């Protein structure tokens, strides 16, 4: 996400990443004017463990058509026993 924010790459996505790994990246991309969303097209949800960062809305929308996502266990889910 730092590379998206700096303009070195056009997009990045990851599924399964934890909130503590993406919180600062989300801030950097937002401040740089980039686009952040969930890999299913909704707004980014830090606890969902899914993120798409892009340098433009058009690119983000195009990438959403190519990503086959799944739903990992949320970071705010109750622990299983």
Question: Residues forming the annotated binding site?
Answer: 21
As given in the structure block, the two tokens for residue 80 are: 């299983």
Contact (Cβ atoms closer than 8 angstroms) between residue 10 and residue 55: yes
Binding residues for Mg(2+): 21
Cα dihedral 23, 63, 10, 35 in deg (nearest 10): -50
């Amino acid at each position: 996400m730092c590379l998206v924010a700096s303009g070195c790459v056009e997009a990045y996505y990851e599924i399964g990443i934890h909130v503590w790994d993406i919180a600062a990246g989300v801030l950097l991309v937002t401040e740089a004017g980039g686009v952040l969303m969930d890999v299913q097209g909704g707004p980014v949800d830090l606890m969902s463990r899914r993120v798409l960062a892009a340098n433009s809305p058009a690119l983000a929308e195009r990438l959403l058509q190519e990503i086959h996502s799944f739903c990992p266990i949320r970071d705010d889910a109750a622990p299983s026993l």
